[in-house]
Structure 1
Amino acid sequence: MRAKDIMSSPVHTVTQTATVESAAELITAHKVTALPVVDTAGRLVGMVSESDLLWHRVPADPTARLRRLPDTDPANRPGMIVEIMSPYPVAARPDDDVAEVAERMLEHDVRSMPVLEDGTVVGIISRRDILRAMVRGDDVLTAEVQHRLDEYAGSHRWTAVVEGGVAHVTGEFDDDTEQGIAAVLARTVPGVAAVDVGPSRPA
């Protein structure tokens, strides 16, 4: 399963000069945890998350407002995204394996990762996207794999059964190339961990 199979697209982005308030409105309205930050050419330059916004808008000490600390004075608060964003964001490519994407998310402690193609943001993946793809039941996966196989073959030539996330595809294949195509079709279904393709077993 690849990043392009589960990423959300199109992506809501903000520019470096956007206001903190506008980013907060986007995150709230679209129920996302972070937004890619792009420059005027549309190139990724950073990420701004819910925690970035909260860190600069909500004082850690609830009594701070009573002591009028300089960093809680509205006049000193950052106003633009460029002031609070995380630069040099970790990114994925459309063909990256989802397992590798998940590993990088955990390693860098990020909840969302933009997906780049030729330097342009084409999607975004969250931890929730990965979990949603991984926890689908075998019956749902079986139906989706079977649908893709039937759609390609134009009939019910092959039979798919998913057990424990492993797709078993059996039937009559003209050659190795056809087996390879069936394997690729099954593997593109989000939630399929591995694929086993072979001729029908004797009853």
Structure 2
Amino acid sequence: MRAKDIMSSPVHTVSQTASVEAAAALMTAKSVTALPVVDDDERLVGMVSESDLLWHRVPSDPTSQLRPRPDTDPADRPGMVMEVMATYPLATMPNMDVADVAEAMLEHDVRSLPVLDDGALVGIVSRRDILRTMVRTDAVLAADVQQRLDEYRDGESRWVATAEGGIVTVTGGFEDETEQAIVTVLARTVPGVSGVRTSQPSAS
């Protein structure tokens, strides 16, 4: 499964010259925790999160063990997104494996990754998107795989798909290794499938 299979598109973005208040309002309206920041040419230049927006707005607690916040005068607080956003944001590509996307999120402690295709922003993947694909039951996975296999054979139930722990097993004869590979690819396209097993091709 690839990033393009689970990403949200089109993407809600915010201009680097937008106000902090406008960015906060957009996050609230769209129920997102981060927004890609774009320039006048709609090119990705940063990412801004809820914590970025709040950092200079919440008074510092001297007893907190967290990183201290600057106690600036309200008049001196950043007003535009470009002043609080994270520059050089981590991004991924449409064909990136979802497992690699998840690993990058955990390694860099980010909750969402913009998806770039030849420099153009085409989507965004959040941790919620990844979790949504992982919580599907084995019965649902098996049913989805079975449907795709039957459609491939124009309604003929030539193979039987079962699932256990996210791993799908497809049983039945195969004309050759090419057909076996096609069935494997079809099964892998179902969101939530973590692995595919097939029987050996039948003797010709």
| Both proteins in one fold, TM over 0.5 | yes
Which ranges of structure 1 fall in alignment gaps of 5 or more residues?
A: 63-69
Q: Which residue of 1 aligns with 2:151?
A: 151
Q: Measure, in 2, the Cα distance between the counterparts of 1:76 and 1:4.
A: 41
Higher helix share: 1
- Verify: 1:113 aligned to 2:131, yes or no: no
Q: Measure, in 2, the Cα distance between the counterparts of 1:15 and 1:77.
A: 18
Q: C-alpha offsets along residues 128-182 of structure 1, whole Å, 9 cap, x if unaligned?
A: 1111211211011111111111222211222111111111112232222111111
TM-score (norm. length: structure 2):
0.89
Q: Which residue of 2 aligns with 1:165?
A: 166
Contact 1:48–1:85 under 8 Å retained in 2: yes
Q: Measure, in 2, the Cα distance between the counterparts of 1:131 and 1:113.
A: 14
- The amino acid across from 2:10 in the alignment is P
Q: Measure, in 1, the Cα distance between the counterparts of 2:73 and 2:166.
A: 54
* Superposition RMSD in Å: 2.1
Which ranges of structure 2 fall in alignment gaps of 5 or more residues?
A: 63-69
Q: C-alpha offsets along residues 17-69 of structure 1, whole Å, 9 cap, x if unaligned?
A: 1111111111111111100011111111100001101112222239xxxxxxx
Contact 2:10–2:123 under 8 Å retained in 1: yes
Count of aligned positions: 196
- Verify: 1:87 aligned to 2:87, yes or no: yes
Q: Which residue of 1 aligns with 2:2?
A: 2
Q: Measure, in 1, the Cα distance between the counterparts of 2:74 and 2:56.
A: 10
Identity in percent: 70
Q: Which residue of 2 aligns with 1:67?
A: none
Q: Which residue of 2 aligns with 1:194?
A: 195
How far is 1:199 from its partner? 5.3
- The amino acid across from 2:4 in the alignment is K
Q: Secondary structure at the match of 2:94?
A: coil
- The amino acid across from 2:58 in the alignment is V
Q: Measure, in 2, the Cα distance between the counterparts of 1:143 and 1:175.
A: 24
Q: Measure, in 2, the Cα distance between the counterparts of 1:120 and 1:60.
A: 38
- The amino acid across from 1:75 in the alignment is A
User: Which stretch of structure 1 is more off in the superposition, 149-158 or 180-189?
Assistant: 149-158
Q: Which residue of 2 aligns with 1:75?
A: 75
Q: Measure, in 2, the Cα distance between the counterparts of 1:150 and 1:22.
A: 49
Contact 2:187–2:196 under 8 Å retained in 1: yes
How far is 1:74 from its partner? 2.8
TM-score (norm. length: structure 1):
0.89
